[in-house]
Amino acid sequence: MTSSNRYTASEILTVLSARALENGQLVFAGIGIPLLAATLAQRLGRPGLTILFEGGVIGAFVEPGKLPPSTNDQRCTKRANMVLGSADVLLLLQRGYVDIGFMGGAQIDQYGNLNSSFIGDPDAPKVRLPGSGGGNDISSLTNMIVAMKHEKRRFVEQVDFITSPGYLRGQNSRTDAGLPAGGVFRVITELAVFGFDAETRRIKVLSLNPGVTAEEVQDNTGFPLTFDDGVTVTEPPTNEELETLRMLDPERLFTA
């Protein structure tokens, strides 16, 4: 059933990210929208989806209203399948067992490269950011979903630093760099859903979110966009999706 409720930008990010997940997948999820999206997918018909945390938890089960503030929080371990060390978790990535990785960053460019290291001149940056953590491992070895707010300062022609590789310079450059697997599967924002051209590996608009125009998406992007031949309008969040999401995060800690 289509939703008659209003929803926030974070809520549509979460719902659309959940829709991109499939039953049976092993999903490397971070705290916040990635975890909410994976948990929402589990509750709405994909119970065989397994959540993996960088902190070592495999098969995390998140209780409503008890979202962990970090991947090292002990609440992540309740009813989990197992708890490993961080090195073992990253080995699962290297062995090809992880299907989807969730990523985000301060900047993304036209080839899906992400920057979470710094903004500006590397010798005198304007802003220092958290850095890679496991982000480089995830982006190098899995199919990625990038969920982030859509702003011109974030969607740039070339990131200031490649913390997490997408398709590098496009075409075969990712494979030529020694990364034959993975890549960016979807970029999801409050304005649109994006994929990547199979040959050029450049980002393109697949669907516009309800009430959003192509001009609005372009105006909030720092490089010329390509639009898929069959651009559609994204189905809005349903009442069931919103009600389940708000049950999981009743205080709107991550979806305000």
**Which of 11, 22, 54, 151 is an active site residue?**
54
Let me know how many helices (H) and strands (E) the chain has, helices first: 7, 14
Give me the phi and psi of 45, to 5 degrees please.
Answer: 100, 5
Of 42, 44, 13, nearest in space to 25 by CA? 42
Give me the phi and psi of 9, to 5 degrees please.
Answer: -60, -40
Q: What sign does the dihedral 37-41-42-48 (CA atoms) show? A: negative
The verdict on whether 54 is a catalytic residue reads yes
Of 109, 197, 93, nearest in space to 142 by CA? 93
Q: Given the structure tokens 């929080």, which residue do they identify? A: 73
Active site residues: 54
